[in-house]
Amino acid sequence: MSASPLDPAVFAELQAATGADFAAELAATFLEEAPGMIAQLKQAAAAGDGDGFRRAAHSLKSNANTFGATALAALARQMELSGLGGPAPDLAALDREYTRADAALRGLLDG
Amino acid sequence: MAEALGHVLIVDDNKVNRLLLARNVELLGHRAEAAENGKVAMERLRAETFDLVLLDIEMPEMDGFEVLAAIKAAPELRDMPVIVTSSLEGLDNIVRCIELGAEDYLPKPVNQVLLGARLSSSLEKKRLRDEQKRLLDRFATHEVALDLQNSGFAIGGKRLTASVLFCDIRDFTALSEDLPPEATIELLNTYYTLMFDAVSSNGGIVNLMIGDGLMALFGAPQPLENPAQSAVAAAGEMFSMITVLNQEQRAAGAPEIRLGAGIATGEVVAGYAGTDERAAYTCVGKTVNLAARLEAHTKAAGRRILIDRQTRNSLRDPAAAERIQQVAFKGFSEPQDIFAL
């Protein structure tokens, strides 16, 4: 997990395609929404709700890919695929990756 | 030519995805609206008019698979193009979307160029389908249009017995020379509205309009109990309607119009002719030629409606038709028996 939390090329592409202002607003929306998605994912894991867990992981993966948060996306994808059937998901790792992605994205927005 | 703009419904439970897709769609020049799950989407699709749906699969309440199934099960929504935009895992899920009737699958994050191309192509296909339906409705009765829609648009012909009616306005060219162009078109539109009414209320379809003339078909594509009787009834209605129109024209100091009509009954070859891109329901054969010759002969004979022997023999009251002098029409080896109504 030492790779860069954010692929700047992906975010630059998003800016080019949708406009810098819109990309910034979208990133801000993601930063507002993502903690809720992670909370849902944890709740679902605690309640043994496999569908809810898979859906939350799927949403997080999809959004992380949009901003080039590849490490976060990879972790979310892994959770979506394995679901709650196997060994307990590494929720702490998810928190760590999200914190890194959050900081990197805020850095881009402020820069 | 400016590309037709589409009204697109985006269905996604994720806010970031909804905003991003809406932005992409709007940047491509289309109008975008969003629904946050399948249930809301179905309600909106039933209540409003959209041209295309961008559908996510993983959603609470009602997922994308269920939405696809519901759209295909609803006759009024069946033709709605649906493009699935998702980051689904597994090829089998993508195959399932296509099998459920999705037009295409675009992986997320959606590539803007690819989205643009898919939207244009799907909207163009829908536009052509809608156009085809509108044309069909215009040239056929609603029942016939539905029947044709259900049986498909396969190019191919059928040999069947039908009655063909030709009618046109006598000396319309001379009449239109005295009228301003707008008045000419307005008069033609009124005339065509009345003629279409007379044809379709008697179970026929208008399948050709040239200038001030039209050709109508009775007994094809839908069978009629007595095509000849229906064609004659339609011709009768045409003349009654024109009589009323002429009273109005006279009152307005506008020129009156005179009609001529010819009807022949017999074997025709009818079906869709053309190419896969452009086809029309049409009808050919000796019966069609004879009807056209009869109509052209009304002026020389000084009669309003001329019919051939087979039409006359099929009438409930054949005696109502008066036999007039035979004519050797061009293209026919024998002189034809002609009857006037």
Q: Which of A65-69, B64-68, B93-97 has the lowest mean pLDDT?
A: B93-97
Q: Report the topology of domain B143-340.
A: Alpha-Beta Plaits (3.30.70)
Q: Is B61 on the interface with A (CB under 8 A)?
A: no
> May I ask the CATH class of domain A8-110?
mainly alpha
The domain locations on chain B are 7-137, 143-340
* Nearest CB to A58; choose among B19, B20, B87: B87
Task: Give the residue from B27, B87, B89, B111 with the most A CB atoms within 10 Å of its CB, the best one to mutate.
Answer: B87
Residues of A in contact with B20 (CB under 8 A): 18, 26, 66
pLDDT band, very low/low/confident/very high, at B276 (cuts 50, 70, 90): low
Q: Which residues pair with B228 in a beta bridge?
A: none
Is B58 in contact with A33 (Cβ distance < 8 A)?
no
Alpha-carbon dihedral B188, B194, B200, B201, rounded to 10 degrees = 180
Interval A31-55: pLDDT, tens: 999 999 999 999 999 999 999 999 9
pLDDT surpassing 80 at residue B19: yes
| Among B residues 211-250, those touching chain A with beta carbons less than 8 Å apart | none
List the one residue out of B48, B56, B2, B51 whose CA is nearest residue B29: B2
Count the neighbouring beta carbons within 10 Å of the beta carbon of residue A27: 21
Please check whether residue B23 touches A, CB under 8 A. yes
> Cβ–Cβ contacts within 10 Å for residue B172, how many?
18
For range A70-79, the mean pLDDT: 94
Interface test with A, best of B10, B15, B16 (most A CBs within 10 A): B16
CATH 3.40.50.300 fits B7-137, yes or no: no
Q: How far apart are the first and last CA of chain B?
A: 50
For the stretch B107-143, pLDDT in tens is 888 888 889 989 998 998 888 888 777 776 665 556 5
If one counts every other C-beta atom within 10 angstroms of the C-beta of residue B160, the result is: 17
SS3 A71: helix
Give me the pLDDT at residue B145, please.
Answer: 62
- Rounded mean pLDDT, B262-287: 79
Mean of pLDDT values over A66-91: 92
Q: What proportion of chain A, given as a percentage, has pLDDT over 90?
A: 85
Query: What is the pLDDT averaged over residues B24-42?
Result: 95
Chain A contact set for B110 (CB, 8 A): none
